[in-house]
Amino acid sequence: MAGRSALINVMHKAADAASRRMMRDFGEVENLQVTRKGAADFVTRADINAEQTIQEELNKARPEWGFIMEEGGKVEGEEDAPKWIIDPIDGTTNFTHGIPHFAISIAVMQDKKITAGLIFDPARNECFFAETGEGAFLNERRIRVSGRRQFSDAVFATGIPFLGRGTEASDTIFLAECNAVMKKSAGVRRFGAASLDLAWVAAGRYDGFWERGLSLWDIAAGHIIVREAGGFVSDFQSRDKSLETGDIVAANSALHTPLLKLLREGRDSLS
């Protein structure tokens, strides 16, 4: 890719416009920590405002396209037109607590396939993006998944179940899986933003990532960015159904199958 395509420029312009107000709002979060409700309400407004800004910018450029949004739900476009998939603030809990690790995620879906994705980290001014067949990029630099082949050298990311997510059974499964990976790897991280976890796999910062029960807007952009960076993405049964199920395992080519095997061994240890 000699430069950013017109489509990526449209996506980046929308993310950048939303991020300016988002970062101003983030600067106010510290003042709201004294009351849980006040901070939560403030972040909800920040989420909605960001999504509205992104939707308006994208609609200007592609008025015939539809939307699938975390806050606003589905907006139908013209028949057979692509759909934008938007997560305005992925990592809302981090945002609420003044932790500068969150992102804007925008993807394009055509005929049930993701054809473009962009993840913008406004705190670091890092823009990860990819289009089908064009490779993956961080700002203007081409990125690839890591070349690590030994599990003992690898660092993995995951999402830990929390209040309102998961059941006692699913929590037990997660702990067994995490224990299996921890015993064989150089470490497991939980930073709290699935889109950035996937972007960091694509950039070789993490060697792999797994999580269950995610929404389409959490993983759509990261899904194509990892694949265009040379990585493998599947569900826990090694099927290409992660966008349907919300269960995702992503890693470089050498570690994807071993990671799936270890996760399975962790689950099997409960039998």
Task: Supply the DSSP string of 28-61, one letter for each residue.
Answer: HHGGGTT-HHHHHHHHHHHHHHHHHHHHHHHHHH
Q: Supply the pLDDT for residue 162.
A: 64
More confident residue, 205 or 44: 205
Q: Supply the pLDDT for residue 59.
A: 96
**Res. 217: pLDDT tops 80:** yes
Residue entry with tokens 């607590």: 97
Q: Supply the pLDDT for residue 84.
A: 98
Write out pLDDT tens, residues 55-102: 999 999 999 999 999 888 899 999 899 999 999 999 988 888 889 999
Q: Supply the pLDDT for residue 38.
A: 52
Write out pLDDT tens, residues 154-170: 999 999 876 556 566 77
Q: Tell me whether strands 208-211 and 248-251 are parallel, antiparallel or unpaired.
A: antiparallel
How large is the average pLDDT for residues 102-125? 97
Q: Hey, what domains does the chain have and what are their CATH numbers?
A: 6-143 (3.30.540.10), 151-268 (3.40.190.80)
Q: Supply the pLDDT for residue 221.
A: 98
Q: Supply the pLDDT for residue 37.
A: 45
**Res. 12: pLDDT tops 60:** yes
Q: Give the pLDDT band (50/70/90) at residue 211.
A: very high
Q: Supply the pLDDT for residue 227.
A: 98
More confident residue, 33 or 147: 147
**Res. 183: pLDDT tops 80:** yes
Write out pLDDT tens, residues 13-51: 999 999 998 998 888 776 655 345 455 555 678 888 999
- For the chain, the C-alpha Rg in angstroms (whole number) is 18
Q: Supply the pLDDT for residue 35.
A: 46
Give the integer Cα–Cα distance in Å for 209 and 188: 9
Neighbours of 88 (CB within 10 A): 29
How large is the average pLDDT for residues 149-153? 96
Order of all β-strands in the sheet with 73-75: 73-75, 66-69, 83-90, 103-110, 113-121, 126-131, 136-138, 141-143
Write out pLDDT tens, residues 224-267: 999 999 999 999 999 999 999 999 999 999 999 999 999 999 99
Neighbours of 195 (CB within 10 A): 31
More confident residue, 167 or 208: 208
How large is the average pLDDT for residues 136-150? 97
Order of all β-strands in the sheet with 155-158: 187-189, 155-158, 208-211, 248-251, 232-234
